[in-house]
């Protein structure tokens, strides 16, 4: 069924515009509170947020909604998204909330929900909350209104947990690391974890002001960090996004490695150690065909899902896999965490560096990627460019030109009014022409 509020990753949009208004956030909190509070026992919700200005507004609105239905609210303050998943489970909460629009600019925001086991909610649960949201929400009696408590040690709990994922008796001594926190939720946690593990840390993006989250920094803009790695003679660069659930790495030569390269490295190492569940990696349809060919040569299975880390996690939980992720840098390792965790994924890479004694450049180029081109085309809300004859013909012409030598993936974004036109082909000139023609058709239709 079509959904009014929830997209592929919670509720998201421009702050103070539908559906991201304080009023809807309050009702959403009340609806989720009523959904999870099904008896008279004590019920808990933990709420984390990133550093954008509107996150404070939505945090308080959600708090009011939850408390109005009798949920006790625990406020974590600015913490990474994976910390919310972890603390939802460890604090025995019924639901966790992260207020963040991830890698989007400051004017956007979003609300992500986690169930009691720390995993993102299913489509079915979100649909039931939507039904409550549009109905008459039953509020609690005055004596049953929930309490609100600010938790001061939530970030510390996450920092200590992250450090436990690094091999025992191993340290980062002698390594110089640039870490770009995107002026986001990990601006405190990431530098502390790396420093306490022994590294010399060069922090970037650690001065949030409410407006500079993801602004020319972080995983979507790694150029500044790459230049800093080279200038400082650093061993590695780590670029997180606004809520720190994704990571992009930079080797000592300033070259960028995406999530596919990191997944391939971890999968290879885990398979060799007998730790890769069912010898399988889960990724989305966006992952490079070069990775697929590499894994096949290593005897490692690849399962592809729809775009979105929640679909990766659903496939992992259904079949018992323990490693998955996205090319964009969401890396999910269910031996440790319940959602993408950029910092812990980077620690896995650093573990490989420490164990092997090899530089980042020798580990970050696991396979030779096929030429891949992605073009994002913005369209007017309410229009449907992919349904027009013009775009359908452009796609058909592109498929015919490829002739089975590559692939196309054209889809509407689940979080922004964008059509993403992606193609792969060994003939880069042909690829560029096909993607350009389809993108141009979308522009004309949108």
Rounded to whole angstroms, the Cα distance separating 292 from 276 reads 16
Q: Residue 353 domain-assigned?
A: no
* Mean pLDDT score, 100-107: 96
* Mean pLDDT score, 88-117: 96
- Whether 166 and 351 have beta carbons less than 8 Å apart is answered as yes
pLDDT at 382 over 90: no
- Both 231 and 272 in one domain: the answer is no
- Both 63 and 176 in one domain: the answer is no
- Kindly report the CATH number assigned to the domain that includes residue 291: 3.40.120.10
pLDDT (tens digit per residue) in 347-363: 999 999 999 999 999 99
Lookup result for tokens 């009023």: 23
What is the per-residue pLDDT for 383?
A: 80
Rg (CA), the chain: 22
What is the per-residue pLDDT for 2?
A: 66
Mean pLDDT computed over every residue of the chain: 95
pLDDT (tens digit per residue) in 294-319: 999 999 999 999 988 889 999 999 99
pLDDT at 152 over 90: yes
- Both 210 and 178 in one domain: the answer is yes
What is the per-residue pLDDT for 235?
A: 98
- Whether 288 and 279 have beta carbons less than 8 Å apart is answered as no
The rounded percent of the chain whose pLDDT value lies above 70 is 99
- Kindly report the CATH number assigned to the domain that includes residue 386: 3.30.310.50
- Both 104 and 36 in one domain: the answer is yes
Task: Look at the chain and report how many structural domains it folds into.
Answer: 4
Q: Residue 362 domain-assigned?
A: no
Q: Residue 227 domain-assigned?
A: yes
What is the per-residue pLDDT for 394?
A: 96
- Both 167 and 139 in one domain: the answer is no
What is the per-residue pLDDT for 380?
A: 84
> What pairs with residue 249 in β-bridges?
238, 257
- Both 268 and 229 in one domain: the answer is no
Is position 356 annotated as part of the catalytic site? no
> Given 224, 254, 284, which residue is the final one in a domain?
254
- Both 187 and 148 in one domain: the answer is no
pLDDT at 1 over 60: no
Lookup result for tokens 């702050």: 15
- Both 392 and 433 in one domain: the answer is yes
pTM of the model: 0.92
Which of the residue ranges 67-71, 294-298, 315-319, 409-413 would you say has the lowest mean pLDDT?
409-413
Rounded to whole angstroms, the Cα distance separating 254 from 235 reads 10
pLDDT at 40 over 70: no
- Both 179 and 74 in one domain: the answer is no
Q: Please give, one letter per residue, the 3-state secondary structure of the chain.
A: CCCCCEEECEEEEECCECCECHHHHHHHHHHHHHHHCCCCCCCEEEEEECCCHHHHHHHHHHHHHHHHCCCEEEEEEECCHHHHHHHHHHCCCCEEEEECCCCCCCCEEEEEEECCCCCECCHHHHHHHHHHHCCCCCCCCHHHCCCEEECCCHHHHHHHHHHHCCCCCCCCCCCEEEEECCCCCCCCHHHHHHHHCCCEEEEECCCCCCCCCCCCCCCCCCHHHHHHHHHHCCCEEEEECCCCCCEEEECCCCCEECHHHHHHHHHHHHHHCCCCHHHEEEEECCCCHHHHHHHHHCCCEEEEECCCHHHHHHHHHHHCCCEEECCCCCEEECCCCCCCCHHHHHHHHHHHHHHHCCCHHHHCCCCCCCCEEEEEEECCCCCCHHHCHHHHHHHHHHHHHHCCCEEEEEEECCCCCEEEEEEEECCHHHHHHHHHHHHHHHHHHC
The rounded percent of the chain whose pLDDT value lies above 90 is 91
Q: Are strands 6-7 and 10-14 parallel, antiparallel or unpaired?
A: antiparallel
The residue from 54, 102, 140, 219 that is catalytic is 102
Which of the residue ranges 30-39, 141-150, 252-261, 357-366 would you say has the lowest mean pLDDT?
30-39
Sign of the CA dihedral running 166, 167, 172, 177: negative
- Both 90 and 135 in one domain: the answer is yes
> Given 290, 320, 341, which residue is the final one in a domain?
341
What is the per-residue pLDDT for 399?
A: 94
With a CB cutoff of 8 Å and minimum separation 6, the contacts of 143 are none
- Both 13 and 147 in one domain: the answer is yes
Determine the straight-line distance between the first and last CA of the chain, rounded to whole angstroms: 24
Q: Residue 305 domain-assigned?
A: yes
pLDDT (tens digit per residue) in 201-213: 999 999 999 999 9
User: Whole domain around residue 82: which residue ranges?
Assistant: 6-152
* Mean pLDDT score, 407-432: 90
- Both 271 and 382 in one domain: the answer is no
What is the per-residue pLDDT for 39?
A: 66
């Amino acid at each position: 069924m079509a959904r009014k509020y929830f997209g592929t990753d919670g509720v998201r949009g421009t702050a103070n515009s539908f559906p991201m208004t304080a009023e809807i956030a309050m009702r959403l909190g009340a609806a989720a509170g009523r959904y999870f509070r099904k008896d008279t026992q004590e019920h808990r919700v933990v709420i984390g947020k990133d550093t954008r200005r509107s996150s404070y507004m939505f945090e308080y609105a959600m708090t009011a909604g939850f408390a109005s239905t009798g949920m006790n609210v625990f406020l974590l303050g600015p913490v990474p998204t994976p910390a919310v998943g972890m603390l939802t489970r460890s604090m025995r909460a019924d639901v966790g909330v992260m207020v963040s629009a991830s890698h989007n600019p400051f004017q956007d925001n979003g609300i992500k929900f986690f169930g009691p086991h720390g995993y993102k909610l299913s489509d079915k649960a979100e649909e039931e909350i939507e039904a409550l949201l549009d109905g008459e929400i039953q509020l609690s009696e005055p004596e049953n209104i929930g309490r609100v408590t600010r938790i001061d040690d939530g970030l510390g709990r996450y920092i200590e947990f992250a450090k436990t994922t690094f091999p025992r008796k191993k340290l980062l001594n002698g390594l110089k690391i640039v870490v770009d926190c995107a002026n986001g939720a990990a601006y405190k946690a990431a530098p502390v974890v790396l420093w306490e593990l022994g590294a010399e840390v060069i922090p970037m993006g650690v001065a949030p002001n409410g407006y500079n989250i993801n602004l020319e920094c972080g995983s979507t803009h790694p150029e500044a960090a790459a230049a800093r790695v080279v200038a400082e003679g650093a061993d590695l660069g780590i670029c997180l996004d606004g809520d720190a659930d994704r990571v992009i790495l930079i080797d000592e030569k300033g070259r960028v490695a995406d999530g596919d390269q990191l997944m391939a490295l971890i999968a290879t190492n885990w398979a060799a150690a007998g730790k890769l569940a069912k010898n399988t990696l889960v990724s989305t349809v966006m992952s490079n065909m070069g990775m697929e060919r590499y894994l096949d040569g290593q005897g490692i299975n690849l399962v592809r899902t729809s775009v979105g880390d929640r679909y990766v996690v659903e496939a992992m939980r259904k079949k018992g896999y323990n490693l998955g992720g996205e090319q964009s840098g969401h890396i999910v390792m269910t031996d440790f965490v319940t959602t993408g965790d950029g910092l812990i994924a980077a620690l896995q890479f650093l573990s490989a560096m420490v164990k092997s004694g090899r530089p980042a450049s020798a580990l970050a180029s696991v396979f030779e990627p096929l030429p891949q081109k992605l073009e994002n085309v913005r369209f007017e809300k309410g229009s449907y460019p992919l349904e027009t004859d013009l775009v359908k013909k452009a796609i058909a012409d592109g498929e015919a030109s490829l002739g089975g030598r590559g692939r196309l993936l054209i889809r509407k974004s689940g979080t922004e009014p964008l059509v993403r036109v992606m193609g792969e082909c060994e003939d880069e000139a042909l690829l560029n022409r096909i993607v350009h023609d389809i993108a141009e058709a979308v522009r004309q239709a949108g």
